[in-house]
Amino acid sequence: MPPTIYNLKSFSRSSGSFNYSTPKTDSNSNLLTFHSTDKWNAHFKAAKETNKLMVLDFTATWCGPCKLMDPVLQDFSAKYTDAEFIKIDVEELNEVSQALQVYQLPTFVLVKKGKVVDRVVGVKKEELKRSIANHIK
């Protein structure tokens, strides 16, 4: 049976404080993580000027299917070094997930020159792999 895809409309945002640190790389991978909307916006604006593919992984700490995709994304980030892989926690950067119309988890949004070129929703390793390969060119 496939893992559950969580619908964000059924969850409320937690009332924790945000960590406004600079983007950091997850341990043992080259995945960037943002904890500040301002830093994300600055990074996104700069990325619009490049032709580099950005693979945005919208996730949450409580999302089981998202955790299933973590090792997949780490493998892809090592394999597709011409792309930039970014994890975005929907509870920390709710404004970003809303702006990119992310309503279910996990959602992967592929962006090039500031435009969404593809979207993969759910635990779909092969579909995500094909999408990255198609758009990295």
User: At 133, is the secondary structure helix, strand, or coil?
Assistant: helix
DSSP state of 26: P
Q: Helix, strand or coil for residue 54? A: strand
Residues 28, 15: Cα–Cα separation, whole Å: 30
DSSP letter for 122, please: S
DSSP letter at 45? H
The SS3 of residue 36 is: coil
Q: Active site includes 63?
A: yes
- Which listed residue (55, 66, 83, 128) is catalytic? 66
Question: Catalytic site residue 26?
Answer: no
Question: Annotated catalytic residue: which of 47, 55, 56, 63?
Answer: 63
Nearest to 71 by CA among 125, 118, 121: 125
- Coil, helix or strand at residue 108: strand
What are the residue numbers of the active site? 63, 66
